[in-house]
Structure 1
Amino acid sequence: DGPVNPARNLTKKELLHQRLVFGSVVVSLNIACIVASGMGYSGTWVLVVILFFKSKDFLSVWIQIFCRIYYKLKPLFRKIEVEKKAAWILSLIPAYSESEEQIVKTLFSLRDNGMGEHRQVMCVILDGKPRPIKSHMTKVVASFSRKYVSLKWKIGTLQIDAGFVDDIPTLCIEKTPNAGKKDSLILCHDLFNFPRSNMDQTIKDLRQELWSTIIPELTKSPDLSKFDLVFCTDADSTIHHGALAKLADACLADPKAIAACGFVFVEYEPGLEWSLWNLYQQFQYSFGQIVRRGAEHYVGKVTCLPGCITMIVVRPEMAGAIEKYAKPVTTFPVLRHQVQYLGTDRRLTYSMLSQAPYLHTLFVPEAGSETVAPQSLKHYLSQRRRWGSNAYFNNYFYFAGSNMILITRIAALIEISRLSMVYYRVFNTGLFLYGVATHFDALAILPLIIISFTPSFWFAFAVAFLNDHLRANWKKLFCGFCINRCISPFMSITVFSLVAKNLGSQVWGISGVTAGTNVTPAAA
């Protein structure tokens, strides 16, 4: 029971029609280009197409090179004084299928993170099944339950326990029934960030209760009226020492910053250090962050803030961001349903950046986090079907949405084109290799060699000189590079096909946190 959900549910017929239209357009474009290339083969045309699809990574490298040189030389001409501020941080740990041991491990990694002058309150929001987090509190100051209206427009129950894990103030909020991770994120920001205008009255009352009685008791600061930052991580992630302070300092140093994220590494579980899945995914993670996210940082528009290590600023624009993030879809286009109900990290990032063109999202590679990667083809494809859907369809909004700067729109257009033409790209690559084998001309393909390998050379340079963690694992990254070169065409086709086939599906997929965990379908 609960309030009437205003969201529009697409009928099977409506969904089928939109899937057919989308699939027909994508397939037709790919077939048309394949036929045109095959019948009227032109080495120049093939080369131009490949250069276009690879242009984003090439330009991303040069943006970073020029910006790094600029910021190295800038202090020589103008003295820059950065005043470090102390901040109150709310550290959020949403949990679904993670075990009690994993949650406690994350709590302790946050407790011992080295906060410097900053102070934190930890908040665990439990979904799925009960776990006795309260038993790990050395002191309990309050325990009570309240009703609330979830994102699914159902009346649920929140069991709230407040106390201390050693000397760190901690809140544990257990939701019944399960309402999903997105509901947990919205609940956290409704309670601890700037409140949105359409917040449910039950949450308004709970917010007032927490800030008038519980927070003052936990923080020993009766005058504290708000947190400065909200740190988001996952219960299966390990946060590197000092990461919170580095993210906090970066956010506080930029008055236009609305959020900052750290570097995500694959966690090498005991016995799986040389797992092919870990090698493959560590290279994927690292290459994307070094080449693409690094460039986005310098224009202040990181387009995906990973949920395992992101610091969000408590500022008025977040009220509008959460309102957009939580808004039910009442329109017909399946595209809006797809990004709103299946998207989490990337959709929240877009909701932030769409509030104003001056807002910045940052990347702080010195702040590291390790997360467990899928260890089977089934789990990998389930995760990438969801991630690929979020990346692909959110790019339509980065291209045509409100308050986006020109460079973000151009990058989104290139990504939409590159992903939509995946079948043609594979064919075109084969056609190019055929052309090289039959009439090799080194000068003709020199532009392609330069543009294709510049990102790889930059990645190798960054591994060798810019990131200690990656440098220590360079052999694994090289193996991952080789694996990626061999299987990426097949994986790209498979993942995009799954994305297209499942257009409109809100099924979250497999949620499994370690290789030894029994993976289960997770609720959306």
Structure 2
Amino acid sequence: MSVPHSNAYGIPEIAKSQLSHSNTFHQIERLPPLDLNPDYPYPIVAAPAEPLLSEQPVEVSTPPNPPNPGRQLTVLSVTLQRIIFILMVILVNLSLAAATIFGKRRNIRLAFIVLFKAKDYICVVISIFTLIGSAIRKTFNKPPVVPRQWILSLIPTYNESEEQILKCISSLRDNELGNHRQILVVIMDGKPKQLRRGMSRVVFEDKRPYQSLKYTTGQLHITAGWLHQTAAILIEKAENCGKKDSLVLCHDLFNFPRDNIPSYSWQLREEMWKTVLPALIEKHWKEFKGFNGVFCTDADSNLGKGCLRLLMEALARDKNAIAAAGTVFVELEPGFEWSFWNLHQQFQYTFSQFVRRRAEGHIGKVTCLPGCVTMIAVRKEMAGAIQKYAGPVTSKFVLKHQVQNLARSPDTTPPSLSYPAPFISTPLTYHSTNTSPSQQGTDRRLTYVMLSQGHNLSTLFVPKAVSETVAPQSLKHYLSQRRRWGSNSYFNSYFYLGGEKMSLIIRVAAASDTARQTFVYCRVLNTIFFISSLIWSRREPDILLALIAGQLPLAWYAVCLFIEPELRRRAHKLVIGLVVSKLVSPSLAIIVFTLVLSNLGNHAWGVSGVTATSTPPTVPNPSPSPKMAERNGANPLKVPTPPGVDSIKIEVMGDA
């Protein structure tokens, strides 16, 4: 595809004849030019005197689908590669198990503990020294004041209810931005919503052709205006194309454009900057030089006070930062505060973030930015990152497809997973798109392609920027989510280990992660031997050494419970969650990794349905997370439940 010639701001110069489907082009010609800094890829026109409202949307004929350059793996190829990979994992686990049983047991077991927990040891050491250093630095140096920043907040939606989306919009609206400004973009992925009827003022509405990452041509319905006192752009896709497609579309329109952006996206980008944004920004247009950050969240997330401001200012103060992530907690809905699944997952979430992710943040190399609370910088490197993230895979090896664009034959179907009936309390749907290659890009993959744009780029962790999200509440949901998360974490670790422009410490951490997950069966065996030695062995010094080595990361987590305010508030539940997690983690780890191996080459997203009942039996229609709303200093948006909606349905869209 030939890319149209673009001007100094990165906007394509498209002839009027190519925009014949646009019914607002005649209004654009009368706008005077604006002299702006060419370092910004926007905007190219001054604001009109009045907001522009397009005429009635014109139905656009859908062009034929473009050819797909990606390789489509056959069933035989995927099956053979899966079998070979499983046999390799079994072989290395059997070898280590034999070494444990027949070798010098105490030395080998201690070596295994050090190997499997190497990343955690490194993280503890980094955290201790950097926390002390940052405390001293803050005592003498106050952080500089950040000038006004412009934030584009993205809410990709699929299976979420209108009530959830409106609550998320309320959370963003009342987030105490300070001097900063934001515009919302809601991208509805193939499931129609009636959000337009809630808009108090519409300044633009149109329909446009669109090329998705599945290499299909569909239609977008764009509406811009004010939704619950917030400037918002609603983009509705005619068909489901995946969350990754929504992320790429957003960055194509509002971040630095990639070289191979589809022509339809070029045209829509021009309309956004010439027509839509001037009408939404109005009086602030002359000071507006482009967005500084793209905030990504999920419709089922509830944001803490000042979350966006903290993330945006962290990016603004670090010239090398390309993204910043906040802290994710499990949302304890009314009636589920003491749920087994919430207690277990709350501990898992907090341990991984405050022991591992915070250490990664101290060195500026967070390897997984959660999709529900991440601020991505608007900078030139994002053009290359999105191009790499959206690119087709032509390799014949399934591992590359697994982390990028998993393409499978149309006649393949995901394996059906059966679980004991008592664990399944809600109707579930297994989502699969076997008629075309799937776009199963993940948060971890997007983080990798961002870091691969340069050695100097950094990804940050901001613990005080808090988000709460709904967690699975059944075994089937949990295993489906963790199968997806485990696959993303495990196979992306290989690319962090051998990928381009990765620092040495990232490669070491990736090697530790890969070993820890690959040897999960041997780890459980080693744990059994260790427990038996606690009961029967009389070698007290050896046992003490193994205990210290094994529990050092947990000891640091206990310290974090005292020094972190957000953890202190939840300490009593986190301690119980620790006990619960220690009891069930070995068996769940084996089940999850077995699912990861057996589903190598499976591109299905997983199950969706009710992951946490939002209405406890005794309290009809409760307001979600009243504690979070009270802490935010704002009342949650009260929206009546749409007819026929008895519970909140969500698609778990996070990543490990």
Change (3 A) 1:111 1:521: closer
Greater C-alpha radius of gyration: 2
The aligned residue for residue 292 of structure 1 is 356
Per the alignment, residue 442 of structure 1 pairs with: 540
Is structure 2 residue 213 aligned with structure 1 residue 151?
yes
Q: 2:506 aligns with which of 400, 408, 417?
A: 408
Separation in structure 1 between the aligned mates of residue 261 and residue 299 of structure 2, nearest angstrom? 27
Report SS of the residue matched to 1:378: helix
* Cα distance in 2 for residues equivalent to 1:423 and 1:105: 43
User: In the alignment, what sits opposite 2:120?
Assistant: 57
> Could you tell me how far apart the structure 2 residues matched to 1:168 and 1:521 are?
25
> CA distance change for structure 1 residues 132 and 312 in 2, over 3 Å: closer, same or farther?
same
Q: Does 1:502 align with 2:565?
A: no
Please list, as runs of the form range in 1=range in 2, the aligned pairs for 1:329-340 lying within 5 A after superposition.
Answer: 329-340=393-404
Shift of 1:465: 2.3
Q: CA deviation at 1:455?
A: 1.7
1:81 deviation in Å?
5.0
Question: Compared with structure 1, are the counterparts of its residues 28 and 104 closer, same or farther at alpha carbon in structure 2 (3 Å cutoff)?
Answer: same
Matching residue within 222, 225, 250 for 1:160: 222
**Alpha carbons 2:210, 2:265 under 8 Å: kept:** yes
By how many angstroms is 1:55 displaced? 2.2
- What secondary structure sits across from 2:322 in the alignment? strand
Pairing 1:28-177 to 2, within 5 Å after superposition: 28-74=91-137, 79=141, 81-177=143-239
Question: Which residue of 2 is the match for residue 487 of structure 1?
Answer: 584
Out of 240, 251, 262, the residue aligned to residue 178 of structure 1 is 240
Q: How far apart, CA to CA, are the structure 2 residues paired with 1:174 and 1:444? A: 62
Q: Please point out which of 364, 384, 388 is paired with 1:324.
A: 388
Report deviation, 1:80. Answer: 5.4
Question: Following TM superposition, by how much is the alpha carbon of 1:79 offset from its aligned partner in structure 2, in angstroms?
Answer: 4.1
Give matches, 1:269-280, under 5 Å: 269-280=333-344
1:472 aligns with 2:561: no
The CA deviation string for residues 338-360 of structure 1, in whole angstroms up to 9 with x for no partner, is: 00133311110001001001101
- The count of residues paired between Structure 1 and Structure 2 equals 522
Are the aligned partners of 2:159 and 2:651 in contact in 1 as well (CA < 8 Å)?
Answer: no
CA–CA separation in structure 2 for the residues paired with 1:518 and 1:69: 44
Aligned CA-pair RMSD: 1.8
Residue 377 of structure 1 is matched in structure 2 by: 475
Residue deviations 1:459-513 (CA, integer Å, cap 9, x gap): 122122212x322222211111011110111011000000000001110001335
> What SS does the corresponding residue of 1:92 show, helix, strand or coil?
strand
Contact 2:393 2:401 in 1 (8 A): yes
Q: Deviations over 1:414-459 (max 9, x none)?
A: 1101100000111112122233333232222333222322222221
- Cα displacement (A) at 1:21: 1.1
Q: Does 1:346 align with 2:408?
A: no
2: distance between equivalents of 1:79 and 1:193? 32
Superposition deviation, residue 166 in structure 1 = 4.2
1:270 Cα shift? 1.1
Q: Does 1:260 align with 2:357?
A: no
CA apart distance, 1:41: 4.5
Q: What are the ranges of 5 or more consecutive residues in structure 2 without an aligned counterpart?
A: 1-63, 406-439, 614-646
Q: Compare 80-89 and 355-364 and name the one that shifted more.
A: 80-89
**8 Å contact 1:113–1:244 — kept in the other structure?**
yes
Structure 2 CA distance for partners of 1:81 and 1:366, relative to 1, 3 Å: closer
Rounded to whole Å, the distance in 2 between the matches of 1:225 and 1:4 is: 37
> Do the aligned residues in 2 keep the contact of 1:138 with 1:163 (CA within 8 Å)?
yes
Q: Is the 8 A contact 1:374 1:512 kept in 2?
A: no
Residue identity matched to 1:340:
Q
> Aligned equivalents of 2:381 and 2:339: distance in 1?
43
Deviations along 1:187-239, one digit per CA (max 9) or x if unpaired, are: 00000000000000000000001100110110114443421110000000001
| Cα 1:14/1:478, change in 2 over 3 Å | same
Secondary structure at the aligned position of 2:220 is classed as strand
Conserved in 2, the CA contact under 8 Å of 1:43 and 1:432? no
Moved more, 53-62 or 102-111: 53-62
Answer yes or no: is 1:357 the counterpart of 2:455.
yes
Offset at residue 54 of structure 1 (A): 1.5
Q: For residues 263-314 of structure 1, what are the alpha-carbon distances to aligned partners after superposition, in whole Å with 9 as ceiling and x for unaligned?
A: 0010011111111000100010011001000100011000000000000000
Q: Aligned residue for 2:299?
A: 235
Cα distance change, pair 518–102 in 1 and its aligned pair in 2 (3 A): closer
Report the Cα offset of residue 518 of structure 1.
Answer: 8.0
| Aligned ranges 1:390-409 → 2 under 5 Å | 390-409=488-507
- Structure 2 CA distance, aligned partners of 1:338 and 1:356? 24
Specify the alignment match of 1:451 in structure 2: 549
After TM superposition, the structure 1 stretch with the greater mean CA deviation from structure 2, 226-235 or 213-222, is: 213-222
Deviation at 1:45, TM superposition (A): 1.2
Alpha-carbon contact 1:98-1:513 (below 8 Å) kept: no
The 1-side partners of 2:147 and 2:551 are apart by 42
* Aligned equivalent of 1:368, options 458, 462, 466: 466
Secondary structure class of the residue paired with 1:301: coil
Out of 241, 251, 257, the residue aligned to residue 189 of structure 1 is 251
Contact 2:99-2:108 within 8 A present in 1 as well: no
User: In proportion to residue count, which structure has more helix?
Assistant: 1
CA contact (8 A) 1:231 1:310 kept: yes
- Cα gap change, 1:395/1:335 in structure 2, threshold over 3 Å: closer, same or farther? same
Shift of 1:62: 1.6
1:428 is aligned to 526
Cα-to-partner distance string for 1:393-419 (whole Å, 9 max, x where unaligned):
000011100010000000000110110
Query: What amino acid maps onto 2:520 in structure 1?
Result: V
Residue 149 of structure 1: how far off its partner (Å) = 0.3
1:165 and 1:518, CA in 2 relative to 1: closer, same or farther beyond 3 A? Answer: closer
* Structure 1 position 48, deviation (Å): 1.2
Q: Which residue type is aligned with residue 574 of structure 2?
A: L
More off after superposition, 256-265 vs 342-351: 342-351
SS in 2 for 1:20: helix
Distance 1:168 1:451 in 2: 52
**What amino acid does structure 1 have at the position aligned with 2:604?**
V
SS at match of 1:161: strand
Change (3 A) 1:522 1:63: closer
1:303 match: 367
Counterparts in 2 of 1:521 and 1:127: CA distance versus 1, 3 Å = same
Q: Does the CA contact (< 8 Å) of 2:477 and 2:611 recur in 1? A: no
AA partner of residue 163 (structure 1): G
Select between 450-459 and 14-23 the one with higher mean Cα deviation: 450-459
* Secondary structure of residue in 2 paired with 1:484: helix
| Alpha carbons 1:161, 1:171 under 8 Å: kept | yes
Q: Given residue 96 of structure 1, which amino acid in structure 2 is its aligned partner?
A: Y
- Native 8 Å contact 1:148 1:158 kept in 2: yes
Residue 214 of structure 1 is matched in structure 2 by 276
